[in-house]
Chain A
Amino acid sequence: MNRVTAAPVKGRDFNSWIDKRLPVLFVAPVVGILLTLAIGPLLFIFITSFMSWELVSAAAPQFIWFRNYLNIVLDSRFWNAMKNTLILLVGGVGLQLVLGLITALLLNREFKLKRVVTSLFLIPITIAPVVVGFQWRVIYHESFGPLNYIIRMLRLGNGFAWLADTRTALFSILVAEVWQWTPFVTIVLLAGLQSISPRVYEAANVDGATPWQVFRRVTLPLLKPTIIIVALFRVMDVFKIFDLVFLLTGGGPGTASESVSLYTYINGFRYFSMGYATALAVIQLLIVTIICMNLVKMMKVRRA
């Protein structure tokens, strides 16, 4: 008898065990892949950042706790690179947002060839960074570049050694960066502008609002979430800036235009100081995460 009643109990237990764990089983492969592909390398980087691992020497990696981080804090070249990155970040993203907003507002009205003009705006985004770097190298060339040619033609001076002068190298990179990515900001903001209901503007007009008041009190507040999203993308991107710096100046003259990403690359793949390079990478990751978390927080506050 016992045997007869025991079987269904066991079956029920098994079924409820399956019911409880089935979702876990379904999710497990995805979690496994995520752990292997995303979290795994991240963990490896965190662990390596606490090590002295010099691939140039035959010495085995050593655990040195926070010494790499301490050395970074004391490294004047790192702070110089950080300063350059922040100049590019604030100047570059700031200019892109201002210019992007202006062009988006101009494109958000009906005119002939609007579609063509909007499509043309996409071109810089689609160009490979290597090509952009080469193109601006030619533009900035002291002897043959069109920029100095125009300056000479207008008798404004003899031109500048744009990429070879400590005073202009970083600024030159910033201009190339703004040129390439302002259209991206424009397109995203244009989409944001087009999602604002025309009724809101009609109501503002009925209330007698001036164009400036409409922009300040209606357009800007409604566009703010889009601005934050596009700023988020650009901040993440500019903070990692490598290609334009590498192609235009190589960080020079001296370290006048060296970015944190380039400095990390130099430590990793020229000096092969894997511990120090990964510690630099971790610091970058933390900074960009903090900036992005604050931007997301701002967005949530706006929604609330």
Chain B
Amino acid sequence: MLRISRRFALVVVTMLAISLLSLGGIAAGQSRKPFEGIKIVVFGDAGQNLKPFEWYKDKIKEESGIVIDQVVGVPFTSVYEKLKTEFVAQTGAYDVVVFYPAYLGEFAGLGYLMPLDDFAKKYDPKLDDVSTGVRELNCKYGGKLYALPYDGDVLNLYYRKDLFNNATEKANFKKQFGRDLKVPETWEEFLDIAKFFTRKKGDKLAGETLKEDFYGSAELAARGFSYAWWLARFGSLGGVYFDEDMKPLINSEKGVKALELFKESLKYSPPDVMAYGYEELKNAYLEGKVAMVIQWSDIQKKAQDPRISKIENRSGIAAVPGSRVGDKIVRSAPMPVGRVLAIPRTARHPEAAYWVARYLSVETSLHDVSSSETGLDPYRKSHYANPKSFAALLGNEEAAKEYLDIVAVNLENAYPELNIPGAGNYQDVLDLYINRALSGEMTPKAALDAVAKEWDQITKKLGAARQKEIYLKAVETWKALGIWQ
């Protein structure tokens, strides 16, 4: 008969107890992860702005149990067509989608997206912390929450501080224009300064002989987003897309004046400015070829990167110029692109998808918008209150504070993109004719009249009553924000 010693029995019992306890612990630990094993697929425009999904893959899995199975990227300009095709076919291929809020009205209005209000009650997306413009214009539709902010794109004015502070240039400007050289407040001042700084090869600029032509300003004038550079002028003049009966107001006096101002500025831009998209415009500024540009918020971060910039510590940022109304200057900063995170109605795991979207929008956003490895821009008050996080990127804390303050101001002056069904179509037509006017194919008036005519046709084609109903919902928000006077 096998005899078991008392000590041996004690060891066995203790080990069994420890094993059971640790198994129980693991089980308890596992049950704390709310979405253990759920796989989700993310969709967005390929490149730097999808990086955070890769960075936090492991952390998300550790905290929630969610596995980010795939991050699908498509070219920047193909986001709409790819998403629309998936939504129409109801493929349910994606759980979290990153897109530009101009499409929110259409995607939410046609029922492609899931309202997030219930999830927001469960997991707080901290919307009070978000800039009003981003929260109200980019994330909501018809009073409901359909998206969480991910990127606070807004246009800002960038200028060469060294040139604006140069004593000779200041004196010459005063002699020529009878006033001090300072950052332009209005579009007319912007043109004067652009004209002043436009010089030929061999001329002097800030005491140095130019080895090549230098230009006062540059614009994004290539097909795609040139309409937003026009909107900056149109909005400041008090222009709106349609009246409350859906009659286009795009070809109003304000519209024509805005286009004339835009066209005038091309006289002081590099000769190939009509081919300038984001990259070309950024490069012209960073290579020190122009004195001023109006661009997205990431440019100031890039201007400080010596690997790509020749104007390190020489770039200033300011509010986008405006129009003088009485003794007030009305400014309008469009928010083209600007990414949001949303959950398709066909998503297989909507709650888990929301958890991931919220994680990126709330928990990691400060790091992501202050990283040089993404093109994401600040949009939360907690971002503006943290210049320290941006100090390394912008040279020092003071520069970071100046940058964040200006971005916050421009976001408060935000001008909405048209986000009703068919927005892509309306915007493309607007962009096309603006481009035709800029290239001299048509006069500004003729171009905008053509836009108005085509917009009428689009509205009729998509159903005038329904379009009006959706547009009026947007107008309510704009009125509340003071955009619609």
A251 at the interface (CB under 8 A from B): yes
B118 at the interface (CB under 8 A from A): no
Give the contacting residue for A255; candidates B422, B436, B461; CB below 8 A: B436
Q: How far is the CB of B253 from chain A (nearest CB, A)?
A: 23
B222 at the interface (CB under 8 A from A): yes
Q: How far is the CB of B72 from chain A (nearest CB, A)?
A: 18
Q: Across the interface, do B421 and A254 meet the contact criterion of CB distance under 8 Å?
A: no
Category for how many chain B residues contact A: 35 or more
Q: Across the interface, do A271 and B425 meet the contact criterion of CB distance under 8 Å?
A: yes
B2 at the interface (CB under 8 A from A): no
Q: Report the stretch among A26-34, A90-98, A110-118, A163-171 that lies at the interface.
A: A163-171
* Cα A269 to Cα B274 with chains together (Å): 24
| B224, B276, B462 pick with most chain A CB within 10 angstroms | B462
Q: Across the interface, do B463 and A59 meet the contact criterion of CB distance under 8 Å?
A: yes
**B462 — which chain A residues lie within 8 A by C-beta?**
54, 56-57, 59
Q: Across the interface, do B273 and A251 meet the contact criterion of CB distance under 8 Å?
A: no
Q: How far is the CB of A254 from chain B (nearest CB, A)?
A: 3
**A253 — which chain B residues lie within 8 A by C-beta?**
222-223, 274-275, 435-436, 438-439, 441
**A166 — which chain B residues lie within 8 A by C-beta?**
439-441
**A266 — which chain B residues lie within 8 A by C-beta?**
428
B51 at the interface (CB under 8 A from A): no
A270 at the interface (CB under 8 A from B): yes
Query: Known interface pairs A57-B421, A57-B462, A59-B463. Does A254 touch B432 (Cβ–Cβ under 8 Å)?
Result: yes
**B334 — which chain A residues lie within 8 A by C-beta?**
none
B84 at the interface (CB under 8 A from A): yes
A58 at the interface (CB under 8 A from B): yes
Q: Across the interface, do B422 and A56 meet the contact criterion of CB distance under 8 Å?
A: yes
**B272 — which chain A residues lie within 8 A by C-beta?**
141-143, 161, 163-164
Would you list which residues of chain B between 409 and 459 have a CB under 8 Å from chain A? 421-422, 424-425, 428, 432-433, 435-436, 438-442
Q: How far is the CB of A202 from chain B (nearest CB, A)?
A: 56
Q: How far is the CB of A278 from chain B (nearest CB, A)?
A: 15
Query: Known interface pairs A56-B421, A270-B425. Does A254 touch B461 (Cβ–Cβ under 8 Å)?
Result: no
* Cα A250 to Cα B438 with chains together (Å): 16
Q: Across the interface, do A57 and B463 meet the contact criterion of CB distance under 8 Å?
A: yes
B29 at the interface (CB under 8 A from A): no
Query: Known interface pairs A254-B441, A255-B436, A270-B424. Does A57 touch B466 (Cβ–Cβ under 8 Å)?
Result: yes
Q: Across the interface, do A55 and B88 meet the contact criterion of CB distance under 8 Å?
A: yes
Would you list which residues of chain A between 43 and 82 have a CB under 8 Å from chain B? 52, 54-59
Q: How far is the CB of A194 from chain B (nearest CB, A)?
A: 44
| A56, A59, A141, A158 pick with most chain B CB within 10 angstroms | A56
A149 at the interface (CB under 8 A from B): no
Would you list which residues of chain B between 239 and 291 have a CB under 8 Å from chain A? 270-276, 289
* Cα A68 to Cα B398 with chains together (Å): 60
Query: Known interface pairs A52-B461, A57-B422, A161-B274. Does A269 touch B436 (Cβ–Cβ under 8 Å)?
Result: no
**A52 — which chain B residues lie within 8 A by C-beta?**
461
Residue ID in chain A nearest B84 by CB atoms: A272
* Cα A256 to Cα B435 with chains together (Å): 10
* Cα A52 to Cα B106 with chains together (Å): 19
Query: Known interface pairs A270-B428, A271-B428. Does A254 touch B273 (Cβ–Cβ under 8 Å)?
Result: no
Residue ID in chain B nearest A144 by CB atoms: B283
* Cα A288 to Cα B307 with chains together (Å): 51
Q: Across the interface, do B461 and A270 meet the contact criterion of CB distance under 8 Å?
A: no
B54 at the interface (CB under 8 A from A): no
Would you list which residues of chain B between 74 and 99 have a CB under 8 Å from chain A? 80-81, 84-85, 88
**B329 — which chain A residues lie within 8 A by C-beta?**
none
Q: How far is the CB of A108 from chain B (nearest CB, A)?
A: 41
Q: How far is the CB of B258 from chain A (nearest CB, A)?
A: 18
B110 at the interface (CB under 8 A from A): yes
**A255 — which chain B residues lie within 8 A by C-beta?**
432, 436, 441
Q: Across the interface, do A58 and B110 meet the contact criterion of CB distance under 8 Å?
A: yes
**B81 — which chain A residues lie within 8 A by C-beta?**
269-270
* Cα A163 to Cα B243 with chains together (Å): 37
Give the contacting residue for A271; candidates B424, B435, B440; CB below 8 A: B424
* Cα A255 to Cα B428 with chains together (Å): 12
Residue ID in chain A nearest B109 by CB atoms: A58
**A84 — which chain B residues lie within 8 A by C-beta?**
none
Give the contacting residue for B271; candidates A54, A161, A269; CB below 8 A: A161
Residue ID in chain A nearest B439 by CB atoms: A253
Q: Across the interface, do A142 and B439 meet the contact criterion of CB distance under 8 Å?
A: no
Q: Across the interface, do A56 and B440 meet the contact criterion of CB distance under 8 Å?
A: no
**A192 — which chain B residues lie within 8 A by C-beta?**
none
Q: How far is the CB of B202 from chain A (nearest CB, A)?
A: 13
* Cα A143 to Cα B275 with chains together (Å): 12
A129 at the interface (CB under 8 A from B): no
Q: Across the interface, do B461 and A142 meet the contact criterion of CB distance under 8 Å?
A: no
Q: How far is the CB of B457 from chain A (nearest CB, A)?
A: 9
Residue ID in chain A nearest B274 by CB atoms: A164
* Cα A142 to Cα B224 with chains together (Å): 20
* Cα A58 to Cα B442 with chains together (Å): 35
Q: How far is the CB of A169 from chain B (nearest CB, A)?
A: 9
Interface flags, A162-196, vs B, CB<8A=1, else 0:
01111000000000000000000000000000000
Q: Across the interface, do A252 and B274 meet the contact criterion of CB distance under 8 Å?
A: yes
A259 at the interface (CB under 8 A from B): no
A273 at the interface (CB under 8 A from B): yes
**A143 — which chain B residues lie within 8 A by C-beta?**
270, 272, 289
Q: How far is the CB of A157 from chain B (nearest CB, A)?
A: 11
Would you list which residues of chain A between 251 and 304 have a CB under 8 Å from chain B? 251-256, 266, 269-273
Residues of B within 8 A of A (CB): 80-81, 84-85, 88, 106, 110-111, 213, 222-224, 270-276, 289, 421-422, 424-425, 428, 432-433, 435-436, 438-442, 461-463, 466
Nearest 6 CB-CB pairings of A with B: A161-B272, A142-B272, A254-B436, A164-B275, A164-B274, A253-B439
14 A-B pairs with C-beta separation under 8 A: A54-B461, A55-B84, A58-B111, A59-B463, A160-B271, A164-B274, A164-B275, A253-B435, A253-B436, A254-B433, A254-B438, A255-B432, A255-B436, A272-B425
